[in-house]
Structure 1
Amino acid sequence: MSRLLKRIFSIFLVLAVLVFIAGNKAGWFESKDGDKAAGQASGPEALRVNGVVLTPGGLSDLIYATGTILADEQVELSAEVSGRITSIRFTEGTSVKKGDLLVTINDAELLAQQRKNNYTLRLAEEREARQKSLLAKEAVSQEVYDRALTELNTVQAEAALIEAQLQKTRIVAPFDGTIGLRHVSEGAYVTPGQRIAGLARTVPVKLEFTVPERFSGSVNKGARVKFTVESIDSQLEAVVYATEPKIDPVTRALTVRATYPNTRGELNPGSYARVEFKLNHLSEAITVPAQAIVPELGGFKVFVYRNGKAESRNISVGIRTNEAVQIADGLKAGDTIITTGILQVRDGMPVMIDNLTIQNP
């Protein structure tokens, strides 16, 4: 019986020891004073933040503007003389070639005058030839020949005048392009300046936009411009070919034009464009996220992670983009910048990096 009691006592003793060890590890037996003392010994709790390790990379100085797509060439076809339209020789929305006859206006009277002039011209030419032959034989005087020559020149001038008037009754395509909607019909009476149809060449097209005066010196012929339009999701690229020679005194901006091939005809003149123009590009720039910068009176600062603590660092900034700011002075590659908890961070405060990324501009 005594052996059984000893065995039971041993089991209880082992269980008690195990419970004590487990409770000690769990802190069941620590006093409140001990807790307070332990807290004082461990110091202030570190602030958890995110950080980024700076690496040099490319940075472009961009300006954004609004632009308009223009036709390479565009004209409103209109009548030069009054008269009734006798024929319309184009189909709306089709391509035409330079010199194609598009519209004719009643020219019957001018054609009659031309036929009459042709007879007179033929007679004047024969008369001048005879007088010239007789003059060579000294059969007529110089004065008689001069009158025949003057008559011939006068008739030739009248022929040229009639031909010029006939040209005004014929509307031809001044360049290759696509003709738009017509605004007249055969038989309609038109007057000078009356609109007949529009003609545009849309291969290539032009992109027109403006840049502020302070950036005008950075716009050079051959510079590449990126832009987007509502009808196309992807970004397109045009090349600057000309600028106005002066700044607009009203807007204080420089008007710039670039050309886009438009070989597939995807852009229509008159479309609204959002333009992204690169002024400068730095290949080895040090940048920090914009949210990491703290503005101060007379400058800026950031917090650098160093040996488990936050260290404030005064900086000079350069180029700004929507997401990043170039650091001109105050930081170097390899520095770790604190990017979150900026409002809570103080110089010398213990911090712990929860999420550390390496910058990749």
Structure 2
Amino acid sequence: MTGMGFRTCYRSGLLGTLLVALFSGSLAYAQEGAAPVTTVTVQLAPLTSQLKLTGSVEARRHSVLSAELAGLVSELLVDDGDHVSAGDPLLKLRDQPTRLEANFQRAGQARANAGVKLARLKENRQRELLKSQAAAQDSYDIAEAELRRATADRTAAQASVALADDELQRHLIKAPFAGVISRKQTEVGSWVRPGDPLLVLDEMAVLRITAPLPQRYFSQVEEGASVVLEFPALPGEKISTAVTRKVTAANPNSRTFPLLIDLRNPDNRLAPGMSVDIHVSLAGGDQPVLQVAVDALVRQADGTTLLWKIVGEGDQLQVAPAPVTTGRSANGLIEITGGPVVAGDRIVEQGNERMRPGLPVRILAEH
């Protein structure tokens, strides 16, 4: 090779090396200048919206017990906090005079029963004598009338005994249902009158949770809707159940409607007066909708909202603005009701506050 040829080849090789180095440096610079971001993907799935309410626990059945008649409290068989079963005796009024009256009426009933027996014997005897023509018809008629009168006397005596027994039972107050005596308002020796509050009984086996439902959500909450309950008394525990009733009579001051949830309480871990956080599933969440993480949404100063969509492939990734309209939100997701996005689009989540159209980006993580 001549000296001229050698110099030409050397210059060509040096130029190629410089071009490769320059191109590689440009790519490295482009990658280094790309904004680091994390992304989320637009999904098409049902979005179950939830409404959070604050409610209170009440006794489903709350009864203020009183006496049917006036009397002196002779026995008080329960105290505050006692658990009782349906039919358990709770309080007794002095019943000695009524008990004596009941015994007297029972004696009268026994006398009436004996009278019927004797009258039936006489009637049978007169019937036999009449058949043998040994007695007149008048004698038999009298015996038959006496039997009818004795039978009527026995019926009256039975009614008198029933009245006396009922009067005796009215001196004893029994539990109308199982529960807890939450308040005792009398004591042995007190004179009580009909209607005086004596004992307060609260049902504990099933409690009722009441929460005010705002009128704007009235049509979105149905009886049987799923709810999740969180009690401060049971930290970290969530109880799943359903709406029992939605009362249509609104509170005229707050324009809210009572939402009722009956909850079984077999272990008595809950009690009336407790507070509870209620997460109610709203209707209309069964249909699939476009949705994305709420953190990916950027709110503009003019009130509009947009997403920064990833465009391009490989190492040539950029962002493009996608103005959108939104709907319901739940569990960190928000519904996309309009805009140039489809399921599967990658959207900038972290780092979206410093985006601009056409900005190169580098994805650090996809969620």
Q: Smaller-chain TM-score range?
A: 0.7 to 0.9
Could you list the per-position Cα deviations for residues 279-321 of structure 1 after superposition, in whole angstroms to 9, with x for gaps in the alignment?
2356775323246233687964322232444322132423213
Give the corresponding residue for 2:205.
203
Cα distance in 2 for residues equivalent to 1:269 and 1:79: 25
* TM-score between both structures, scaled by the size of structure 2: 0.72
Cα distance in 2 for residues equivalent to 1:146 and 1:238: 68
Q: Residue 205 of structure 1 contacts residue 260 of structure 1 at CA under 8 Å; is this kept in 2?
A: yes
Give the corresponding residue for 2:261.
258
The answer to whether residue 310 in structure 2 is matched with residue 320 in structure 1 is no
Q: Residue 292 of structure 1 contacts residue 340 of structure 1 at CA under 8 Å; is this kept in 2?
A: no
The answer to whether residue 313 in structure 2 is matched with residue 305 in structure 1 is no
Give the corresponding residue for 2:274.
271
Q: What letter corresponds to residue 269 of structure 2 in structure 1?
A: E
Q: Residue 286 of structure 1 contacts residue 332 of structure 1 at CA under 8 Å; is this kept in 2?
A: no
Q: Which runs of 5+ in 2 are unaligned?
A: 1-28, 128-139
The answer to whether residue 84 in structure 2 is matched with residue 76 in structure 1 is no
Cα distance in 1 for residues equivalent to 2:337 and 2:306: 12
Cα distance in 2 for residues equivalent to 1:135 and 1:295: 108
3-state SS in 2 of match to 1:332: coil
Give the corresponding residue for 1:14.
none
Q: What letter corresponds to residue 358 of structure 1 in structure 2?
A: E
Q: What letter corresponds to residue 112 of structure 1 in structure 2?
A: L
Give the corresponding residue for 1:152.
154
The CA deviation at 1:63 is: 0.7
Q: Which runs of 5+ in 1 are unaligned?
A: 1-41
Q: 1:358 aligns with which of 339, 347, 366?
A: 366
Cα distance in 1 for residues equivalent to 2:50 and 2:76: 50
Q: What letter corresponds to residue 287 of structure 1 in structure 2?
A: V
The answer to whether residue 52 in structure 2 is matched with residue 64 in structure 1 is yes
Q: Residue 38 of structure 2 contacts residue 351 of structure 2 at CA under 8 Å; is this kept in 1?
A: no
* TM-score between both structures, scaled by the size of structure 1: 0.73
Q: 1:123 aligns with which of 111, 130, 152?
A: 111
3-state SS in 2 of match to 1:286: strand
Give the corresponding residue for 1:194.
196
CA distance 1:235–1:282, shift in 2 (3 Å): farther
The CA deviation at 1:107 is: 0.8
Total equivalences in the alignment: 315
Could you list the per-position Cα deviations for residues 312-337 of structure 1 after superposition, in whole angstroms to 9, with x for gaps in the alignment?
21324232137331224432343232
Higher strand content, 1 or 2: 1
Where do 1:286-301 residues align within 5 Å? Answer: 286-290=291-295, 292-294=297-299, 300-301=305-306
Give the corresponding residue for 1:109.
97
Give the corresponding residue for 2:136.
none
Q: What letter corresponds to residue 165 of structure 1 in structure 2?
A: E
Could you list the per-position Cα deviations for residues 99-145 of structure 1 after superposition, in whole angstroms to 9, with x for gaps in the alignment?
22221101112112112211222222333444455556344276655
3-state SS in 2 of match to 1:313: strand
Give the corresponding residue for 1:332.
342
Cα distance in 1 for residues equivalent to 2:242 and 2:152: 55
Give the corresponding residue for 2:74.
86
Q: What letter corresponds to residue 125 of structure 1 in structure 2?
A: N
Q: What letter corresponds to residue 173 of structure 2 in structure 1?
A: I
Cα distance in 2 for residues equivalent to 1:114 and 1:152: 15
Aligned-residue sequence identity (percent) comes to 19
Q: 2:179 aligns with which of 172, 177, 180?
A: 177
Cα distance in 2 for residues equivalent to 1:79 and 1:132: 44
Q: Residue 289 of structure 1 contacts residue 324 of structure 1 at CA under 8 Å; is this kept in 2?
A: yes
